[in-house]
Structure 1
Amino acid sequence: MLKKVKKPKAGKSEGQQQESLQTQQMQETQQAQEKKASKFAKGKVSIPKPKLNGSWKEAKWANPQRSVGAKLFLFILTSILACVLVVGILAYNTSKGIIRNNAMDSNFQTIEQAAGKLNLMFDNFDAQTLQVMVDGDIQEELSKLRDAQLEQFERFEASTRIQKMLEEYVLSNSSLKGGYLIPLEDGGFSLGSSTLDRKELEATEWYKRAVEANGQSIWIQSSVKGPSGKSNEPVLGIARVLKNNTTSEPMFVLLFEIKLSVIEKTIGDISLGDGSSVSLVDAENRYVLNPSAADNATLGKPSDVEIPTEGDMAEKGSLELDDSEGNSVLAAYSTFNNAGWKIVGKTPVEQLVKDAQQIYVLTLIVTIIAALVAVAISYVLIRTFAHPLVKLRNLMNEGERGNLSVRLYLNRKDEIGQLTDSFNRMMAEITSLVEKTNLSANDVLATASELTEASRKTAVSAKEIAVATEEIAGGATSLAMEAERGSDLTGTINEQMKSVLSSNHSMEQSAAAVEQASEQGSNYMNVLIEKTGVTEEMTRNMVSKVDKLKDSTSSIRKILDVLNNLTKQTNILSLNATIEAARAGAAGKGFMVVADEIRKLADQSRHSIDIVGQITETIQREIDETVQVLSEAYPIFQEQVSSVKESNQIFLAVQGHMNRFGESLTSVTAAIGKLDESQAVLSDAMSSVSAVAQQSSATSEEVASLSNEQLSISESLVKLSGKLEDVSNKLQDSLSRFTTTGSNDNK
């Protein structure tokens, strides 16, 4: 039921007393603001000047590494130095490359000429040994010396004559240190410049090589005492087997020792530059002659430069290599005899390119000069561009702090001059804007005071109307709430019934899907059982076939044994044929060739049979492994068949259970449908009751809402008036930090 609102009596309540106090305070505040606004409008209140935090000199070099001047200086300095250094280093490296290439070509030509001279000299030594070999007198005397039927005195005279002829050969060539004839048969004695022990010589490496050469000359590595071990100065040797010119029977080993000093004089005039050296090395890159070493200490030792011994560069060439001490040298080399000995010329690269160091020093000097020029250019650019920007930045900092009177005047027509003019115009516009804003703030302050008073009166009236309206709406609201609660409860029950019905339908569909999936899984399991049976049958057949293949490999091994025995018989037959052909002499040479070919064919057959036997053993081993794997896999296939059959039975049981579950869900769905129809009738009845109650409550609440809304608007007007007043005061405070008088920068 609605209650009547009584009018207040003449006596004032506590609420009315508070309202009167608030009204009095608002009137006092309004009067103070009006006085302040009138003084501001008359110009009695001045705007305080801003307090600047330091002068422009304090911020002049803040963060100098990020300034435009520093960036210009670094850019110019880096660019000039980079260009100078790149050009200088390229010139230095190019000159070094040209000098190195020219030196390599020149050294190679010099070494080639020296190699030709040495080749001629060594060919003369070789020809001299050949001359001794074909000398008829020496051949005749050697035959007498080896003739056991002659008297001892006659053989002594023959050895004396051979000794004299050998000495004449040595004396006729000043390059020879000594000559020797070493007998190949036991019991003989050596002839030559001194007596040699044949037993000791047989153990030497050069003697064995000379015998194996069978008449070809061999060159012997140089040493201090020479091949004979009797020399008193460093020598190298040449040796060859001396044969009988009639029977070609080896008789003696001829040895000539050649003075190393003669060869050293030959290559001593060769000069490849400062610090260069020329040496001889053998085919194994060991020193034969090294004039740069004292006391011949390096003879027979490895060279300090690794010359290629294989490939296209093995015979001759010119390369840049590192010696044993790690120094870079230019090595030019060329082969000069049939033993593969080489003449090697080495020149330190450091000595060759020392003249190019002047370019490097000149590059450093030019770099220093370029750095000084870059500093001068940077200074001019900084004075021209960076300093005006620093001044402009400092004035903008002062403007940021509130001093709007700053100006910058530069007598320039470029972009920087245009920038300063734009800055001055911008500061003038900002100054004008601040002055206009001050006048507008005064007007807003006065208007806010009037609005505050009107809002206060409206709020008092709206509050009295709201109290009466709230009592009318109270009774209608209670009735509407109860009806709404019953309607909500009925709706909740209805929603839950629909949810249960929907869930039941979903369960019915899921059960049908599970039943279909079970049937499909059962069909797949039947197919899997059939395929697993086929796989088991194939595995059984594979085991049988592998066993047959194992028997076949055993037969192959038996055939290989027969072929191997046949090869052995062929070898024996070939050996017998060779023996018979040797007995037949010259008439059996052709048959001997045939027998040799039969023996080679038998060897090839035996080799092929061995390879086939190895392959057969490999196949046999892999077949055994395959049989073992299949034997292990067959029980697993049988277990798989059993598991698949058990899985099929499980699928069939699941399908039966799902059929019974689907029938139960169908009956539950029918019962829930009937319950849902009854709930719908109850929901319609509660909706009708709730509608009537809500209509009655809505009418009362609408009246109360309008009253409350009016009260809220009145209070909002009061608050907005206060905010407007605060904003006006803050605007005045913000504008007070700007000043329009001050000094300008005209520099």
Structure 2
Amino acid sequence: MYMMKSKKLKKMKMGIDAKLAIVFVLLIAIPLMTLGFMSYEKASDIMEQNFKQTTLQMTNEIKESINNMMYGYEESMIQMSHEANVQEVLMNPHYSKWMLKNFESYIKGHENVLSIYLGTKNSDIFLYPEAQVPEGYDPIQRGWYKEAVKENGLIWTDPYIDAFTGKQVITVAIPIYNTSNGNEFVGVVGADISLENLANRMNMIKVGKRGYPAILDRNLNTMTHKNKELIGKPLPIEELKEAIEQQDEGIVDYDWEENGQTYNKFGTFTKLDKLGWTVFSAMYENEIEEDVRALLWNALMIGSIALIIALFISFIFSRGLTKKIKILVEDMERIKEGDLTVLTKIKSKDELGQLGDSFNVMIDEIGNLVRNVQSVSTELIASAENLAATSEETSASAEEVAKTVEEIAKGATEQAADAERGATLTGNLSEKFIQLTNNTDNMLKSANEVMEANLDGVKAVEDLKDRTELNGEATGKIEEAIMELDNKTKYIGSILDTIASISEQTNLLALNASIEAARAGEYGRGFAVVADEIRKLAEESRHAADKIKGIVTTIQSDSTNTVEVMKEVKERYEEQSNAVGKVSESFDTIYKSIDSITGKIEAMGEFVHVLNGDKDNIVGAIENISAVSEETAAASEEVSASMQQQSMAVEEVASAADKLNGLAVKMNEEIKRFKI
């Protein structure tokens, strides 16, 4: 049976040699994969940056090449403006032939120049090679002429379609002055440079494998592009537009649709210094990915070879290691069958050799252990039998003790119940005493509060009495003042009567004066006016005195009424003073009654407190009896329970002794299986 289980385990488990090989492979594969992935990511970033920087450098080289080319045109045009036959062509028309000869030589020396010409201030045009001038053509109205005159120096125009050739050109122009005639303005000489050759040169340049350069004018219209449909149209890449408007050179990533597919691309750009053009180079990002992918394949091939070599080395190493382990496993299989006479034969000087020596020592120790166990198991069987007999005797004695303790517990429980009823009744009596004490305390508290309220009332009545006396004094003073006011108003009335009498006399005097003045004629006219004014003043004084007399009469009537009212107020004051005196006497009577009640309540409270103290002693004694009875009953029950537990424990010991005896017998039979 043990052999079958061993074979099943061997089939289910992987060998240690295979595990070691897997560990070796993983130890090499994981770092290689991590290093490869990190190298791939780093190389991808580095190569992308290198490609972009290289492309930007190429774009700058194209820019420098165009700058040099344009610089050559500028130098030659400046030199042309200094030619005498060009400056003096208006002064001497015969110079036009020599000037056209110079134009011819210029075109032969510059293959990209389509034509060179001079537009004079007289609207004449000298052109080489000769061509039919369109009807109504006026050089003065052309943009290149106006811009050169405005700038008063060399200028470059934006690309445009030439009126003579129909091709896309740019013009370089410079104003001409006759230095021999006081710098007289002659006109503007210009040269049309074809963009066709420049576009062909740009289209021949390759950026990477499929990338290309292009040129944009200052308005970001396409001048050259490998897709001729885009020439002359605005730049269709918004990201690039924004970048060019914000900086002079840079690198931009963008998406580009081509043949129905969208590609990830990047572009580098740089601006020409004078012309305002922008040189733009575009490249597909998947070109970088292709190069990086090739690097990744090389790393994978190297890693695969390293893994194969590691697998071969680990197989050889693990085979030598597992051979010794298999010997040890076979010896352990024999021990599993009970053969303790086995000694392993591993003699190497490494950890496996130490394991073999330790294995032999362990087998020897196990043999000694089995011998000792055999001796102990025999003694254990005899001891278990004795323990079982003793347990049976102890169990019988425990049962008798348990019955006696149970009877004691029953009596103690009944006594505790009686004590508890007495404690309950005493507790109720205690509650009644407590209520009586609380009510007495509340009555005493209420009486004290009434006493305090009575004292406050007495104080209030005393205060009212004082204020009533003050009120009486104030009322007397008011009565005196009103009497004085009545006398003074009567005096004022007599004075007003005097004023009225004086006013009437004054009025009569004024009237007499007016009559005398009228008799005097012209000499008395001024005196009559004065007499009339005096009469008017007398009338106004009389009317004012009448008004004041009416007011004084009203005041006299009011003061008379006030005097009567003050008499009534004085009577009410005397009645109020008598009432306050009676209230004060009532408060004194209440105070004496409350003081008597308070004394009696305090005496009753002291008596209740004495009864309450005696009650506490009675309750305490009954509670102590109840507590002792309960503790006795509880202790009896605990003893009874302990005896029951002891009886059960003795029974368990007896049962355990039987089991121990069986186990000892079984152990003895199992030990006999070992071969010592």
TM-score using structure 2 length? 0.54
In structure 2, relative to structure 1, the CA distance for the partners of 1:480 and 1:321 (3 Å cut) is closer
Q: 1-side partners of 2:405 and 2:38: how far apart?
A: 98
Matched letter for residue 138 of structure 1: V
| 1:726 to partner: Cα distance | 0.9
Letter in 1 for 2:114: K
Q: Secondary structure at the match of 1:410?
A: coil
Higher CA-based Rg: 2
Shift in Å at residue 488 of structure 1?
4.1
Candidates 311, 315, 335, aligned match of 1:375: 311
Structure 2 counterpart of 1:29: none
Say if 2:382 is the partner of 1:446.
yes
Question: Aligned partners of 1:721 and 1:240: how far apart in 2?
Answer: 132
Q: Aligned to 1:216, what secondary structure does the other structure show? A: coil
Structure with more contact order per residue of length (Cα contacts < 8 Å, sep ≥ 6):
1
Return the match for 1:256 from 191, 197, 209: 191
Task: Select the residue among 81, 85, 89 that pairs with 1:138.
Answer: 89
CA distance in 1 between counterparts of 2:253 and 2:627 reads 110
AA partner of residue 152 (structure 2): G
CA distance in 2, matches of 1:275, 1:386: 59
Alignment of 1:712-731 (within 5 A): 716-731=649-664
Check 1:485–1:237 CA distance in 2 against 1; reply closer, same or farther (3 A cut).
same
Residue aligning to 1:680:
616
Say yes or no: does 1:422 pair with 2:373. no
User: For residue 260 of structure 1, what is the amino acid of its counterpart?
Assistant: L
Which position in structure 2 is the counterpart of 1:642? Answer: none
Q: Are residues 403 and 232 of structure 1, via their aligned partners in 2, closer, same or farther at CA, if it must alter by over 3 Å?
A: farther
Name the structure 2 match of 1:338. Answer: 274
Of 9, 32, 35, which aligns to 1:81?
32
Please list the CA deviations of residues 375-433 of structure 1 after superposition, one character each: whole Å capped at 9, or x if unmatched: 12332343355676688689879989989788755333212332343344335534543
Q: Equivalent residues in 2 for 1:70-219 (5 A)?
A: 72-79=23-30, 81-82=32-33, 85=36, 89=40, 96=47, 107=58, 110-111=61-62, 114-115=65-66, 117-124=68-75, 126-127=77-78, 130-131=81-82, 135-140=86-91, 167-174=100-107, 175=110, 176-179=113-116, 192=127, 193-196=131-134, 206=143, 210=147, 213-219=150-156
When residues 394 and 486 of structure 1 are mapped into structure 2, their CA distance, relative to the original with a 3 A threshold, is farther
Tell me, in whole angstroms, the C-alpha distance in 1 between the residues paired with 2:416 and 2:236.
116
Cα deviation for residue 168 of structure 1 reads: 4.1
Q: 1:713: Cα distance to partner?
A: 5.5
CA contact (8 A) 1:388 1:416 kept: yes
Change (3 A) 1:327 1:458: closer
Give 2:20's match in structure 1, choosing from 56, 69, 73: 69
Which amino acid is the alignment partner of residue 730 of structure 1? Answer: L
Question: Where does 1:251-400 land on structure 2 (aligned, <5 Å)?
Answer: 255-260=190-195, 280-290=215-225, 293=226, 298-299=231-232, 302=235, 306=240, 309=244, 314=248, 324=256, 335=272, 338-341=274-277, 361-385=297-321
Aligned match of 1:238 = 172
Q: 1:371 to 1:101 in 2, by over 3 A?
A: same
CA distance in 1, matches of 2:387, 2:63: 117
CA contact (8 A) 1:69 1:386 kept: no
Q: Secondary structure at the match of 1:258?
A: strand
SS at 1:135's partner residue?
Answer: helix
C-alpha displacement of 1:727: 2.5
Return the alpha-carbon distance in structure 1 between the equivalents of residues 281 and 193 of structure 2. 22
Residues of 2 paired with 1:705 and 1:334: CA distance? Answer: 107
1:684–1:216 CA distance, 2 compared to 1 (3 A): closer
How far apart, in 1, do the equivalents of 2:648 and 2:208 lie? 110
Distance 1:726 1:398, change over 3 A: farther
Aligned-pair Cα RMSD in Å: 6.1
Percent identity for Structure 1 against Structure 2: 16
SS at match of 1:441: helix
Q: Secondary structure at the match of 2:89?
A: helix
Structure 1 position 296, deviation (Å): 8.3
- Is there any run of 5+ residues in structure 2 with no aligned partner, and where? 258-262, 443-597
Question: Measured at CA, do residues 52 and 266 of structure 1 come closer, stay the same or move farther in structure 2, by a change above 3 Å?
Answer: closer
Relative to structure 1, is the Cα distance of residues 390 and 677 closer, same or farther in structure 2, using a 3 angstrom cutoff?
Answer: farther
Do the aligned residues in 2 keep the contact of 1:329 with 1:346 (CA within 8 Å)?
Answer: yes
Q: 1:227 aligns with which of 162, 166, 173?
A: 162
Conserved in 2, the CA contact under 8 Å of 1:69 and 1:382?
Answer: yes
Q: Secondary structure at the match of 2:156?
A: strand
Q: 1:167 to 1:297 in 2, by over 3 A?
A: farther
- Do residues 412 (structure 1) and 348 (structure 2) align? yes
Equivalent in 460, 484, 505 of residue 419 of structure 2: 484
Change over 3 Å in CA distance of 1:490–1:289 after alignment to 2:
same
More helix by share: 2
**Residues 158-182 of structure 1: CA deviation (Å, up to 9, x unaligned):** 7xx7986774454232243234566
Closer/same/farther in 2, CA of residues 723 and 182 from structure 1, 3 Å limit: same
Looking at structure 1, the residues matched to 282 and 371 of structure 2 have their Cα atoms a distance apart, in angstroms, of 93
CA apart distance, 1:231: 0.8
Q: Distance in 1 between matches of 2:430 and 2:337?
A: 68
How far does residue 372 in structure 1 lie from its aligned partner after superposition?
A: 0.7
TM-score scaled by length of structure 1? 0.50
1:257 shift after superposition: 1.7
User: Which letter does structure 1 place at the counterpart of 2:154?
Assistant: S
| Change in 2 beyond 3 A, CA 1:323/1:94 | closer
Q: Distance in 2 between matches of 1:71 and 1:367?
A: 16
Measured against aligned partners, the alpha-carbon deviations of 1:504-525 in whole angstroms (never above 9, x if no partner) come to 9xx9xxxxxxxxxxxxxxxxxx
User: CA contact under 8 A between 1:280 and 1:289: conserved in structure 2?
Assistant: yes
Cα offsets for 1:252-298 (capped at 9, x unmatched): 665432233565688899898876756544334544445xx376863
CA distance in 1, matches of 2:657, 2:381: 8
Q: Distance in 2 between matches of 1:117 and 1:708?
A: 118
Corresponding pairs, count: 500
- Structure 1 distance, partners of 2:620, 2:659, is 58
Higher mean displacement: 725-734 or 270-279: 270-279
- Offset at residue 318 of structure 1 (A): 8.3
SS state at 2:158 partner: strand
Contact in 1 for aligned 2:36/2:296 (Cα 8 Å): no
Structure 1 pair 499–370 and aligned structure 2 pair: CA distance change class (3 A): farther
Tell me, in whole angstroms, the C-alpha distance in 2 between the residues paired with 1:353 and 1:673: 106
Partner letter of residue 132 of structure 2? S
> Which 5+ residue runs of structure 1 have no aligned equivalent?
1-49, 142-157, 508-662
Contact 2:215 2:224 (C-alpha < 8 Å) held by counterparts: yes
Report the AA paired with residue 437 of structure 1: V
Q: Distance in 1 between matches of 2:145 and 2:437?
A: 110
Give the Å deviation of 1:465: 7.2
Pick closer, same or farther for the CA change 1:99–1:449 going to 2, 3 Å.
Answer: closer
**Cα distance, 1:111–1:673 mapped onto 2, change above 3 Å:** farther
Q: 1:682 to 1:240 in 2, by over 3 A?
A: same
Distance in structure 2 (CA, Å) of the matches to 1:407 and 1:238? 108
CA-CA distance at 1:721 after TM superposition: 2.4
- Secondary structure (helix, strand or coil) at the match of 1:123 reads helix
Q: Distance in 2 between matches of 1:710 and 1:348?
A: 98
